[in-house]
Amino acid sequence: MQTERYITESLELHLFFGRIMKEHSLFLKAGFTPAGASFAARADFFRNEFEKLLDRTVFLSSGLISEKVLCSGELVTEFTADAEGQTQRLTGIPINQGITCRTQKLSGCECRKADIRCQIKSLNQAALRLLCGLIALKEEILDKVLHCQMFTMNYPLLIEHILREAKLYQKYVQMLEADGCISAQSMKETECFWNQIMMEHALFIRGLLDPAEEELIGSANQFAGNYAALLKASRTAQDKTIPGDALTETRKFRDFKAAGTKGIACCQIRSLILPLLADHVLREANHYIRLLEDC
């Protein structure tokens, strides 16, 4: 049973966060000017390597992933494939869209006799090596941006944001390798982390929308304020929190993000938001909703 948990939790973790990391790398690459060409190349290295890691994960995952995760919308959404195609066309950065197609075809947990623990261990070790390098790159970029030694189209807060997500991923893989499972976090800890992520998503959306999109800017600003309040409440809670408010708010925010992703894909919203970035933050909302529903 412990081996099965180790395998399933590892695969589900990489299916979600491996895709997130490869997209972080793409967003970093897309945000550099010619003066940052060497950093763009380094970001592209990690984009390519995390794409390979995700491809390996999908190959191993059929029959070993829970139906709840497969149906949650955190791995892919109805928009992901088109968002990848549009983003590749708009940026010129290659994206292996076959991985998304194969992810959509994954089946849920079945009885499988083959022991792939050794392959999972290799996958986890590869992820840790890549994360060590990507975290170091993000930290270097952030330091240079904060000291006015580099220009990028990515906000400093966004770089801090994606750095925190990489460190959480790293922490979970380390747990799997040390204990064979991801240790349960308190709901307070989970809410503090993801409420901050959601709040920052709202701030980024607000800042990347065209000034003419006054209604959407107002909505994004409202979500930012609501999550700031939730974050304050979760941080000051003495023991554990009741996730009802966060769940209600995140379902609303998920719907807002889904409408925005569709609007960007259809060229009906003026913004600086890449289609894949819109889908990316939608998947993270879906992930948080599942965590809240499971508590």
Tell the burial category of 111 from Cβ atoms under 10 Å away from its Cβ (0-12, 13-18, 19+): exposed
The pLDDT of residue 1: 56
Chain segment 116-140, per-residue pLDDT in tens: 999 999 999 999 999 999 999 999 9
Helix, strand, coil abundance in the chain, percent, nearest 5: 75, 0, 20
Q: In the structure, how many helices (H) and strands (E) does the chain have? A: 12, 0
Residue 28 lies inside a defined structural domain of this protein: yes
Residue 250 lies inside a defined structural domain of this protein: no
Chain segment 22-79, per-residue pLDDT in tens: 999 999 999 999 999 999 999 999 999 999 999 999 999 999 999 999 999 999 999 9
Buried b (16+ CB within 10 A) or exposed e, 141-176: bbebbeeeebebebbeebbebbbebbeebbebbeeb
Q: How many domains does the chain have?
A: 1
- % of the chain residues with pLDDT over 90: 89
Residue 46 lies inside a defined structural domain of this protein: yes
Give yes or no for a contact between 124 and 173, defined as CB atoms under 8 angstroms apart. yes
Domain containing 132 equals: 1-65+106-170
Residue 277 lies inside a defined structural domain of this protein: no
The answer on pLDDT for 241 being more than 70 is: no
Residue 265 lies inside a defined structural domain of this protein: no
The pTM for the full model equals 0.96
Residue 135 sits in a domain whose CATH number is 1.20.1260.120
The arithmetic mean of pLDDT across residues 105-116, rounded, is 76
Chain segment 136-178, per-residue pLDDT in tens: 999 999 999 999 999 999 999 999 999 999 999 999 999 999 9
The pLDDT of residue 243: 59
Residue 20 lies inside a defined structural domain of this protein: yes
E strands in the chain: none
- CA atoms of 149 and 227, how far apart (whole Å): 32
Residue 239 lies inside a defined structural domain of this protein: no
